[in-house]
Structure 1
Amino acid sequence: MENITNNTLTIYHGGDEFITNPEIRIGKYTKDFYWGFYFTILPEQAERLALRNIRKSVVSVYNCTISAQLNVKQFEKMSDEWLDFIVMCRNGGSHGYDLVEGPMADDTIYNYVQDFVEGKISRNAFWELARFRYPTHQISFHTARALACLTYERSYNLR
């Protein structure tokens, strides 16, 4: 994975509404990389996420040039460091990054993460199960400074 700082990326957000001005919302549950606003560079992944919504399925598209002034954490692939970071975040631990990028613990992977946290499977068993999953990607924005790097382009309906 190349360094994302100062590169312009097209990123996608799948959901149930048009979002022209993303904001960080504190929800009931923390996510992979803690509370933030999540995107992907994979349009098909954003579409899969959007289609999980019953009411409406929308993909919003943005351009993003990530400033070198931001505190960025990148995970090139699933690793022990990535797993430990997700476990920490999912358990309510915070971090000081403006932006975090790396693989996504989708529903199946997250079930493996939860089994690992609860001691139902070992770290080695987690990696055996996780290595067969398709590639995923997420980039999460955790501060207003990070969100300022975004330029809304368009949104489209899937249904």
Structure 2
Amino acid sequence: MRLYHGSNVDIQKIELSKCRPNKDFGKGFYLTSIKEQAERMALRVSKMYGRTPFVNIYSFNEKVLFGGNLNVRIFEKPSEEWAKFVITNRNYKRIETVEGDNNFDSRYDIVCGPIANDDLALLFRQFSDGLISVETLVNEMEFKKLTDQYSFYTEKALSYLLKTGVENV
């Protein structure tokens, strides 16, 4: 399968240390199977930090996700488990006692699932503040059109990505 990463640079070598924390699935290298999504991200990052928008293109054999060589977490669709995982990873520094699952220690080599886009930010905030129940959160998420993300956390996982190209946006 092809995976895309939108950026403001042509990535020659993926450096996990440069990845930003507090993302949906933790600090990792994020890609998508949707080229247009990567293009939008490249434009957004370039607008924020300057430079030229690029889409870095990778080949990835998705059979690796089920081969048993890597510790992989897959969320097929939004769920209570997915929402709590995302909220915990995004709010790590603000949580005194971390409950539920997370990827702070890169226990997963790869995590795949829906993107918690801006449409969900209000729902997450309402849930975190105790204003809505987890059932309401999950029900409301079902009406949102969500896109996918594949996040890589270890050098072992990155070894399965093969860069095949780069395009200016």
Please give the TM-score of this superposition, normalised by the length of structure 1: 0.84
Quote the residue 2:55 is aligned against.
Answer: 59
Partner in structure 1 of residue 147 of structure 2:
136
Aligned match of 1:147: 158
Tell me the percent identity: 37
Structure 2: gaps (5+ residues) = 93-101
Where do 1:73-92 residues align within 5 Å?
73-92=73-92
1:11 deviates by 0.3
Residue 152 of structure 1 aligns to a residue whose secondary structure is: strand
Unaligned runs of 5+ in 1: 1-8
Q: Distance in 1 between matches of 2:2 and 2:21?
A: 27
SS at match of 2:116: coil
1:10 aligns with 2:2: yes
Instruction: Choose from 22, 42, 46 the match for 2:38.
Output: 46
Cα-Cα RMSD: 1.9
One-letter identity of the residue aligned with 2:160: C
Letter in 2 for 1:49: M
Q: Which amino acid counterpart does residue 112 of structure 1 have in structure 2?
A: L
Deviations 1:51-95 (A, max 9, x none): 213133211000113532011110000011111111221232425
Distance 1:36 1:25 in 2: 9
More moved, 64-73 vs 139-148: 64-73
Higher helix share: 2
What SS is found at the alignment partner of 1:146?
Answer: helix
Aligned length: 150
Query: Aligned in 2, Cα 1:81/1:40: closer, same or farther, shift over 3 Å?
Result: same
How many angstroms does 1:130 deviate by?
Answer: 2.6
What amino acid does structure 1 have at the position aligned with 2:54?
V
Contact 1:23 1:147 in 2 (8 A): no
Corresponding residue of 1:3: none
Write out the 4+ residue segments of structure 1 that deviate beyond 3 Å after TM superposition: 26-29
User: What TM-score do you get using the length of structure 2 for normalisation?
Assistant: 0.79
Q: Report if the CA contact (8 A) 1:74-1:102 is conserved.
A: yes
Indicate the larger mover: 60-69 or 124-133. Answer: 124-133
Partner Cα distance (1:96, 1:83) in 2 = 18
Range that drifts further, 129-138 or 96-105: 129-138
Q: How do 1:94-109 and structure 2 match up within 5 A?
A: 94=104, 95-109=106-120
SS in 1 for 2:131: coil
